[in-house]
Structure 1
Amino acid sequence: MQRAEHRHAPLFVISVAAELAEMHPQTLRQYDRIGLVIPRRQGGRHRRYSPYDVEQLRQIQQLSQEGVSLEGIRRVIELQNRVEELEATVDELRYELRESERHANRPRVFAVGPHGDVVTVAHGRRPQPRTQAMVLWDPPRRRR
């Protein structure tokens, strides 16, 4: 699987993208006009297609050959893009959860600041400015 930044990198001019997708360049221009596959622009004018765009063009061609209308294809692509965004969000949240669980076994130290606010203190350090109040919070262990 290609890394995301390479998968969406605008690499191909319209003639190359059309050849890779086995389509006519005019078809790609039409899809751009109706919003099916919108390539990036270089210098404001020249279309640049990514490997992901070429994948979408191939999928459009397959769905079209199966009798799906252009509006139906647009909806399918829109939903696939949304699923991809949501999967990326889930991956980020899983990473954050793993990180928080990795650090959950360590006790956390808090202090009361000069105005009554709670501040986190690094383990083994005293709060600045010095205060007399110090609390050690040991979270309850989760059952597994």
Structure 2
Amino acid sequence: MIPDQNGSADGADKFDDEHYPAYTMGRAADMLGATQGFLRSLDEAGLIVPQRSAGGHRRYSRHQLRLAARVRELVDQGTAVEAACRIITLEDQLHEAQRVNAELRADG
């Protein structure tokens, strides 16, 4: 077998990679209980930029679907899509800053 770009001969590690773009737009929308237009709006807002297949079709990762699900929850509560995307961006920035601070405290 020929190793893939991650060095794996069988590619099985892709199933464990939360950033691997395994889901088509239709499948992703079904999993979220959302429309494909909702997913396109997240792409337009810049929150989720799906990878593209060789044919130009959008492909989503599990990580991206988790973000989309968080947006969906906020939208279902009455928040505008753009505002929900901004909230999630800020939440992620806060979590990253907290992680870095914890690392620095542990090292110091």
**TM-score interval, normalised by the smaller of the two chains:** 0.5 to 0.7
Aligned to 1:25: 36
- With normalisation by structure 2, the TM-score equals 0.67
Within a 5 Å distance, the mapping from 1:23-102 to structure 2 comes to: 23-43=34-54, 45-90=56-101, 92-93=103-104, 97=107
DSSP 3-state at the match of 1:48: strand
Higher RCO (C-alpha 8 Å, min separation 6): 2
The CA deviation string for residues 7-40 of structure 1, in whole angstroms up to 9 with x for no partner, is 2222211111111111112221222123232222
Deviation for aligned residue 1:79: 0.7
DSSP 3-state at the match of 2:23: coil
Query: How large is the RMSD of aligned CA atoms in angstroms?
Result: 2.6
Q: Which consecutive unaligned segments of at least 5 residues does structure 1 have? A: 99-144
Measure the CA separation in 2 of the matches of 1:94 and 1:77. Answer: 26
Determine which structure has the larger helix proportion and give its number. 2
Count of residues in Structure 1 that have an aligned counterpart in Structure 2:
93
The CA deviation string for residues 50-78 of structure 1, in whole angstroms up to 9 with x for no partner, is 11211122221111111112232121111
The CA deviation string for residues 91-141 of structure 1, in whole angstroms up to 9 with x for no partner, is 65466x28xxxxxxxxxxxxxxxxxxxxxxxxxxxxxxxxxxxxxxxxxxx
Are residues 38 and 27 of structure 1, via their aligned partners in 2, closer, same or farther at CA, if it must alter by over 3 Å?
same
Determine which structure has the larger strand proportion and give its number. 1
**Aligned partner letter, 1:40:** Q
Are residues 86 and 40 of structure 1, via their aligned partners in 2, closer, same or farther at CA, if it must alter by over 3 Å?
farther
Are residues 93 and 66 of structure 1, via their aligned partners in 2, closer, same or farther at CA, if it must alter by over 3 Å?
same
DSSP 3-state at the match of 2:88: helix
Identity level (%): 29
- With normalisation by structure 1, the TM-score equals 0.53
